[in-house]
Amino acid sequence: MAGVRELAPVTAVYALVLLLTRPFYLGDTSGYAIAVLSQERGLFHSYPNNFWDFGHLLWRPWGWVAYQLVGRHLAYAKAGEELLAICAGMIGLNAAAGLFSVLLVHSLVGRLVQGFARFAVSLLFLSFYAFLNYAHSGTAYVPGLMFTVLGLWLLVRAVERGAFGLIEISLCGAAFAAAVLLWVPLVLSIPAALLLAFLWPRLTSSADAKLPRLRLLLGTLLISAFIVAAVYGAVLAHMHLHSLGEVKAWIAASGHGWSQGKRLVRLVSGLPRSFLFMGEDTIALKRFVLKDPYAPTSLLELVRTTLWKLALFYAFAAALFWALLKSRIGRTIAVVLAVAFLPVLVFALFIFEPGSPERYMSLYPFVALALACALTAFPKPRAAQWVLAVFLIVTIVTNQVSLSRGRMEGLLGGAAERAGILKDRVTADGLVALATQHDDLYDFNITLLFHPLNRRGGLPLYEVVPLATEAMTRWKSEFARRSLACLQHGQSVWISRRLLAERPRPEWKWTEGDDPRISWRELPPFFRQFEFDESIGGIDGFLKLAPSPENRRLLRDQAG
């Protein structure tokens, strides 16, 4: 009964926060749902397909199972909107995984701090930007993190109880394996989790011996490796991938063509925005550094929008480590936190791109433990603890207010109007060409999946300039190829008027020089050469590409 009374307030707060907030970015939720629906309809008969992805191996299958058990019975499915039913099921899985993650973290930090401080740290974990954002989504990040925290909790519990049997080893290994099978980068958190269990400071007499602990940790590692290898092996056999080249191509495909430059610079802002909501504030930083001629940014504006958040985060990080060094337990946690951070840093800088906030989610449980420990490091408040408290309060308030339901819906109100004028003018097989994914119409289509204008698939949006991807150098030929295919099948192609503008407006979120392979001045001349036979939406509307012989010739020439 005491446990229920203790967890009920945390559960209630979690439910309230999710009810009052909306995601800033829903990730690839709709893409995952499309793959699940294609699998359900038997459209994937052989490799390649989007159902089995190296980076999120079991997420789509998990979504498929959720659809079989629950999604089929939802009103969306009965109304013929299976895609929305699948999305709803995957979002529901995230919401449940998020709650379980918060409750596990609450239990873990309760071993180091009690009372209001314990509740505050749990609320901070819930409010970390990437966690709060993706708990609303249908992506694999939060469920994968849940299994990581579960594995960590099981390890600590086994050490404290002195229970090092096969059951404990199997449960721990299975939890970490599930995390990796849902999202591969979570493998980076396993060394820190094992080290924390080995050094865990709250020892019992039965847990003092190092050999049983080592057996637990080694067994956990072996079990998790065996499960991961077995599942990947089964999937490779199912897809009939037998050569090393085929496997490499499958792994490479999970990167989705990302090719970001200036990785160290992106890391400076990418790490803080995983914890503290910045929205599009980092665009101001890029414009300032790159001296964007289309949207000049002053130092004062930069301080107002971005620099104070970066300064607060790095002050928090410094204060956290300083406070941890003041106690034996704190020094132990500091070592564990460093071991958790270094592999993530290497992965972000040299293997993938460091700008996405989800890249650092594996750090969250270790940061929560470190903060719980640091808050009790001194007998009375010191400067470091004041910095920690300020960061805690600012993060909770800023993130929840920034992601509030009313604010998020208000930001996309203009996009809803633009979507409305196109809804009955283009089919799912047509094309709506936007400059980049920063267009708010993209955000509207991806984030508000259940909006009436997005029902049954939404608009067929296409980003002309795929920034920071390998496809960037092929933007002209790719646009021409897609447009020509639409015209040949009698479908309409609509082009955003923004692509013909002499200068991009600041609110369009274009940053000149962000990708050195493209400049805005290349866009207007390219699109002005085409003929258009219809215009809608006024100055920020769309032009319909005429199916004329001249346009077809131009497109064929560009398509090569």
Residue ending a domain, among 338, 372, 402, is 402
Q: How far apart (Å, rounded) are the C-alpha atoms in residues 492 and 494?
A: 7
Instruction: Name the least confident of 87-101, 253-267, 377-391, 502-516.
Output: 253-267
* Shared-domain flag, residues 397 and 427: no
Own/partner contacts of 45-50, CB < 8 Å, gap of 24 or more, are 46/239, 46/240, 47/239, 47/240, 47/241, 47/250, 48/250, 48/253, 49/239
Last residue of a domain, one of 383, 402, 421: 402
Q: For residue 59, give both structure tokens.
A: 């997420």
Asked whether residue 395 falls in the same domain as residue 420, the answer is no
Residue 98 has pLDDT above 50, yes or no: yes
Do 365 and 451 belong together in one domain? no
**Rounded distance between C-alpha atoms, residue 174 and residue 151, angstroms:** 8
Specify whether 16 is located in the same domain as 152. Answer: yes
Question: What average pLDDT does the structure give for the chain?
Answer: 89
Q: Which amino acid is at 290?
A: L
Whole-number pLDDT of residue 21: 95
User: How confident is the model over 426-438, as a mean pLDDT?
Assistant: 91
Strands in 315-457 per DSSP E = 431-434
**pLDDT tens figures, 217-251:** 999 999 999 999 999 999 998 888 888 988 888 88
Same domain flag for 512 and 387? no
Q: How confident is the model at residue 254 (pLDDT cuts 50, 70, 90)?
A: confident
Name the 3-class secondary structure at 166: helix
- Other beta carbons within 10 angstroms of residue 293's beta carbon come to 11
Residue 294 has a CB neighbour count (10 Å cut-off) of: 16
Q: Does some domain include residue 268?
A: yes
Joined tokens for residue 220: 């956990």
Shared domain for 371 and 353, answered yes or no, is yes
- On the question of pLDDT at 138 being above 90, the answer is yes
Split into its structural domains, the chain has a count of 2
Is position 363 within any domain?
Answer: yes
pTM of the predicted protein model = 0.89
Distance CA 147, CA 182 (A): 9
pLDDT above 80: residue 257: no
- Does residue 386 lie within any of the structural domains? yes
Q: Tokens standing for 246?
A: 């085929």
| Residues 378 and 443 occupy one common structural domain | no
Name residue, tokens 């001296």.
291
Kindly state whether residue 407 falls inside one of the protein's structural domains: no
* Same domain flag for 435 and 293: no
In a domain, 10, yes or no: yes
Structural domain for 269, as ranges: 2-402
Q: Answer whether residue 147 shows pLDDT above 90.
A: yes
Same-domain check for residues 429 and 389: no
Q: Are 126 and 17 in contact (CB under 8 A)?
A: yes
Q: Are 172 and 132 in contact (CB under 8 A)?
A: no
- Which of 466, 470, 480 lies closest to 526 in space, CA to CA? 480
Give percent of the chain above pLDDT 90: 58
Among 22-26, 37-41, 409-413, which stretch is predicted with the lowest mean pLDDT?
409-413
Residue 400 burial by CB count (10 A; 0-12/13-18/19+): exposed, middle or buried? middle
Same domain, 390 and 422: no
Query: Are 279 and 336 part of one and the same domain?
Result: yes
Last residue of a domain, one of 343, 373, 402: 402
Query: Are 125 and 6 part of one and the same domain?
Result: yes
Nearest-CA neighbor of 392 among 122, 103, 12? 122
